[in-house]
Structure 1
C-alpha cells in the first residue's frame, strides 16, 4: 500500500493542474507583476514614444503573382495587391523569400509567428511561442493588457491560432468589436470588481495548494513523470503571472470611450472597426502588442462573392476564380493600408504612432491552391522598417534566411534581450 499512495497523489496533481489551466481568459494576459510608476510613466506620460508591435495574418495567403513585384529596391512596381499601399509606400518594406521551411498546408498556418509546428514543440524550451507572446512576456508588464489577440473561433483549423504561449497554450481570441470595445473602455461596477478580486485570490490559493502538492511528490516520480511535472510547473507559473496582472489592474479605471459600444456584424464589415479599436488600444497604452487574424469567419458573401473563401483558394488556375480571390484580398490590403494611415495620423510625442509601431502583415500560407507554406507574403511597416523597398532574400540552400531571423529582429527592436527565437539562425541583417 505504501507504493500506491504516491501514484494516486500524482494522478490527482496532474489532473488538478490541468483543470486549473482551463481558467477562461487567462492565456491572453501573460505578464509579470510590476511597479507601473516607471520613469517613462512619471516623465512622459503613458506609453509616449514606447515601441509597439502589431501582427496581422490571414489563413489562406495572397495571390503571389498579384502580390510580389519583379523589381527589387525602391523602384518596385505597384502590383495589384500592393497598389492600395501607395500612400504608405515610403513607410514600409516588402519581403520575398522569407518562410519557415516547413510543410503542413492549412495545419501549418499557425506557425506564421513562431516557425514551429505545435505538435513538434513539446520538448523545446519555449515551445511554439509566437513572437507577440515572446515580446509581451518582456514588454507587456506596464500595460493593462500585455497583449491583445483578435480573431474568430470559426475556420478550417478550429479557430484563431495566430498566437501561442511558451507553455503551448493557444491564446483564445477576442472575437468581435463589441467584446474588444468592452475590454478597452468599459469599467466593471464596483461589485463586479470585488467579485473578480475574490476570484483571483481564490485561484491564487488553489495554485499555491497545487504547487505544494506537486512539490511534495516531485522526488518520488520517475524520469518520464518528472518531465510531465516540469511542464505543469511551467504552466502553473504562467497562470500565476497572469493572476498577478489581473490583481494589479482590477481597480484601475479604463480610458474614456471615444464612441458608443458597437454591435458585431460580420468580419468583413467589422474589419475597419477592429483596426480602429487596435489603434485606440495602442494610443491609450492599453497594450503595446496586438495580433489580428483574418480567418474562417471572413465570408466572401459580404463582398458580393457567392463562394466560400476556402473553395476559392483552391482556384485550379481558373482566372474567374482568381479574380474573385483578388477582390477579397484587395479588400484586406485596403483595410491594412487604412490602419497604417490611421496610425500615421496619431501623434506620439515627437513622432507618429506609426513611427512607434512595427506592423507585420502577411500569412503562414504561401500558395493556398497548392497548400504550400513557403515563399510567404510579408510586409513590415513603421517602427524602423520604413525603407520604401522591396527586398528579395535567399530562400534556398545554405544562404537561406529564416523568417524567424526577422521575428527575432522585431523582438530586439522592442527591447527584448534575446539571441534566438524559434528556428532563427541569427539576427536579420
Structure 2
C-alpha cells in the first residue's frame, strides 16, 4: 500500500459506537519496519482466587527450569515455559492484631499494608493498590486507565466471626486508600463499556440497542478494509470475528434468561437439573457451571488488552469467603469456602484440590488466549505480566505464609518465565511488585514492606 498509514489511535466509528483497533502494519510510520517500532506496551493483570489452595498438591517438587507441574497446576502444561511459580512469598500487611480470617488477607493483597478494622463503610486499605499505581503510570495513554472484573456481587454486612465488614472481601483494587475500584460482574456490561458508547440522544433512556456493535461500525470497517494490505485485512477480520463471537455468547445467555422468565414452577424443577438458573443467588449456591461466563469475562479482558483500550486489569473469581457451590465439577459435592475448611479430611481435601484445579484451568485459558493474539513481532502474552494468586495459603488454617503465586508472560522481555523458584521463608510479596515496577520502568524505590527485588525473575 506504499506509504499510506493510519494513526495508532484510529478507531472504528458508527452512530452510537466506537471500537479500538489492534496494532496493524498500516500503523507503522513510513520508513520504519514493524521490528524497529518502539517497544510494545506491557500489560498487567491480577487474577484473584479466594479461599487458598490444597497445599499438598500445589508446589512442583523440583525447582529451577527442570520441574514437573503438580497435579493442580497440570492445566498449565501448554504454557509451562511461559509461567513463573513463586514460593515462600508472604504479605506481611495481612498480619496484625485481630487479622484472623480472610478479609484482612484479601483487601490488602495488592497494597501490602494492614487494613483498618471496621464493621462499617469507613474502609481504609492502608494504601493505593499496585495495579492502580501502574494505571497512574501508563493509564493516560489508553481509553480506560484500568478495568476491574469479578463474578460475584459486593457483599455487605458484618462477619461476626472476625469483626470485619464483608465489603473488604469484595475488592482488591484501590484507587485511593479509602476508595475501592468498582467492578463489572456481568459480561454484557463489561462488553458494552468497552465496545459500545452511550446511546444517541434521540433514543429513549434505558432502551437497549439491539444491533450488533459491529453492524454499527460496518461502514467504517469496510472503508478501512479496502485500504489495508492483505496481512492487515486478515488481522482486522480475525479481530472483528473475536468481538462477534463474544457478542453471540453473551446474547445467547440473555435469550436463555428471557426464556426462563416464562417457565412454570413445574418446568423450573426440571430445568434445575439441566443447570439452567435464573438469578445469581441460585447460580452461586445451587451449583451452576460458571465456566462459560468466566471465560466471557476473560475474553473481554483479552480484547481490552489487544486493542490497547487498557493495559491494567484485575479479575476476582469470587469474593473472599466465597461459598459458591462447585458441584458442577465431577467429584465435588460442596461449596468452596466450606471445603477449604477441610479439617485435613482426605475426601474434602481432594474436592478442594479439584476446585483449585478448575481455577488454574481458567488461568491457563486466559494465558493461552493472550498467546494466540499477535502483538507486533510477538504475541500478547509475551508482552504481559499476568498474576494468579490467593491471599491465603491454606483455607483451613487461614495461613498467609507461602502464598500461592503464579506469574505468566515475559513482560516484554523483562521476565524469565519457565521456572519454579523458592525465595526463602517470609520473603515479602511486595518484592514481586517492586520487580514488576522495574519491568514497567516505574520510578518506584520501595513498596509496602519490600526489601529488594526478586532478581531471579529478571532477564
> Which residue number in structure 2 is paired with residue 71 of structure 1?
62
DSSP-derived class of the 1:355 partner: coil
How many Å apart are 1:422 and its aligned residue?
Answer: 1.9
How many Å apart are 1:161 and its aligned residue?
Answer: 1.2
Contact 2:324 2:337 in 1 (8 A): no
Contact 2:108 2:125 in 1 (8 A): no
**Does residue 116 in structure 1 map to residue 113 in structure 2?**
yes
| Aligned counterpart in structure 2 of residue 62 of structure 1, from 45, 49, 53 | 53
DSSP-derived class of the 2:201 partner: helix
Q: Identify if the C-alpha distance between structure 1 residues 149 and 42 changes in structure 2 by more than 3 Å, giving closer, same or farther.
A: same
> Which residue number in structure 2 is paired with residue 353 of structure 1?
380
> Which residue number in structure 1 is paired with residue 297 of structure 2?
274
DSSP-derived class of the 1:317 partner: coil
Please give the per-residue CA displacement for 1:71-122, whole angstroms capped at 9, x wherever unaligned: 211122321111111111111110100111333330222222111122189x
What are the residue-to-residue correspondences of 1:213-292 with 2, within 5 Å? 257-259=243-245, 260=247, 262=250, 263=253, 267-292=290-315
> Which residue number in structure 2 is paired with residue 320 of structure 1?
347
Q: What is the rounded CA distance, in whole Å, between the counterparts of 1:187 and 1:137 in structure 2? A: 24
How many Å apart are 1:386 and its aligned residue?
Answer: 4.1
Q: What is the rounded CA distance, in whole Å, between the counterparts of 2:144 and 2:244 in structure 1? A: 19
Q: What is the rounded CA distance, in whole Å, between the counterparts of 2:47 and 2:69 in structure 1? A: 21
**Does residue 185 in structure 1 map to residue 185 in structure 2?**
no
Contact 1:139 1:146 in 2 (8 A): yes
DSSP-derived class of the 2:138 partner: helix
How many Å apart are 1:274 and its aligned residue?
Answer: 1.3
TM-score normalised over the length of structure 1? 0.69
What are the residue-to-residue correspondences of 1:31-46 with 2, within 5 Å? 43=29
Where does structure 2 lack aligned partners over 5 or more consecutive residues? 1-26, 119-123, 160-165, 206-219, 222-238, 255-276, 278-282, 284-289
Q: What is the rounded CA distance, in whole Å, between the counterparts of 2:46 and 2:371 in structure 1? A: 17
Please give the per-residue CA displacement for 1:164-216, whole angstroms capped at 9, x wherever unaligned: 123421112111212111111122123299x9xxxxxxxxxxxxxxxxxxxxx
Aligned alpha-carbon RMSD (Å): 3.1
Q: What is the rounded CA distance, in whole Å, between the counterparts of 1:54 and 1:115 in structure 2? A: 17
DSSP-derived class of the 1:191 partner: coil
The structure in which a higher percent of residues are helix is: 1
Q: Tell me which moved more, 277-286 or 68-77.
A: 68-77
TM-score normalised over the length of structure 2? 0.65
DSSP-derived class of the 2:314 partner: strand
What are the residue-to-residue correspondences of 1:99-110 with 2, within 5 Å? 99-101=90-92, 102-103=94-95, 104=99, 105-107=101-103, 108-110=105-107
DSSP-derived class of the 1:368 partner: coil
Q: Identify if the C-alpha distance between structure 1 residues 192 and 52 changes in structure 2 by more than 3 Å, giving closer, same or farther.
A: farther
How many Å apart are 1:258 and its aligned residue?
Answer: 3.0
Contact 1:131 1:407 in 2 (8 A): yes
Q: What is the rounded CA distance, in whole Å, between the counterparts of 2:360 and 2:202 in structure 1? A: 40
DSSP-derived class of the 2:406 partner: strand
> Which residue number in structure 2 is paired with residue 140 of structure 1?
139
Q: Identify if the C-alpha distance between structure 1 residues 297 and 190 changes in structure 2 by more than 3 Å, giving closer, same or farther.
A: farther
Q: What is the rounded CA distance, in whole Å, between the counterparts of 2:376 and 2:108 in structure 1? A: 35
Where does structure 1 lack aligned partners over 5 or more consecutive residues? 1-40, 196-252
Q: Identify if the C-alpha distance between structure 1 residues 372 and 390 changes in structure 2 by more than 3 Å, giving closer, same or farther.
A: same
Q: What is the rounded CA distance, in whole Å, between the counterparts of 2:202 and 2:345 in structure 1? A: 55
What are the residue-to-residue correspondences of 1:362-373 with 2, within 5 Å? 362-373=389-400
Q: What is the rounded CA distance, in whole Å, between the counterparts of 1:302 and 1:187 in structure 2? A: 36
DSSP-derived class of the 1:88 partner: helix
> Which residue number in structure 1 is paired with residue 430 of structure 2?
404
> Which residue number in structure 2 is paired with residue 311 of structure 1?
338
Please give the per-residue CA displacement for 1:196-248, whole angstroms capped at 9, x wherever unaligned: xxxxxxxxxxxxxxxxxxxxxxxxxxxxxxxxxxxxxxxxxxxxxxxxxxxxx
Q: Identify if the C-alpha distance between structure 1 residues 79 and 343 changes in structure 2 by more than 3 Å, giving closer, same or farther.
A: same
How many Å apart are 1:48 and its aligned residue?
Answer: 7.9
The structure in which a higher percent of residues are strand is: 2
DSSP-derived class of the 1:354 partner: coil
> Which residue number in structure 1 is paired with residue 78 of structure 2?
87
Please give the per-residue CA displacement for 1:256-287, whole angstroms capped at 9, x wherever unaligned: 64332613775444111111111111001111
Contact 1:74 1:389 in 2 (8 A): yes
Q: What is the rounded CA distance, in whole Å, between the counterparts of 2:324 and 2:136 in structure 1? A: 30
Please give the per-residue CA displacement for 1:124-171, whole angstroms capped at 9, x wherever unaligned: x99421111110011111111101111122457335211112342111
> Which residue number in structure 2 is paired with residue 375 of structure 1?
402
> Which residue number in structure 2 is paired with residue 169 of structure 1?
179
Q: What is the rounded CA distance, in whole Å, between the counterparts of 2:300 and 2:194 in structure 1? A: 8
Aligned pairs, how many?
A: 326
> Which residue number in structure 2 is paired with residue 38 of structure 1?
none
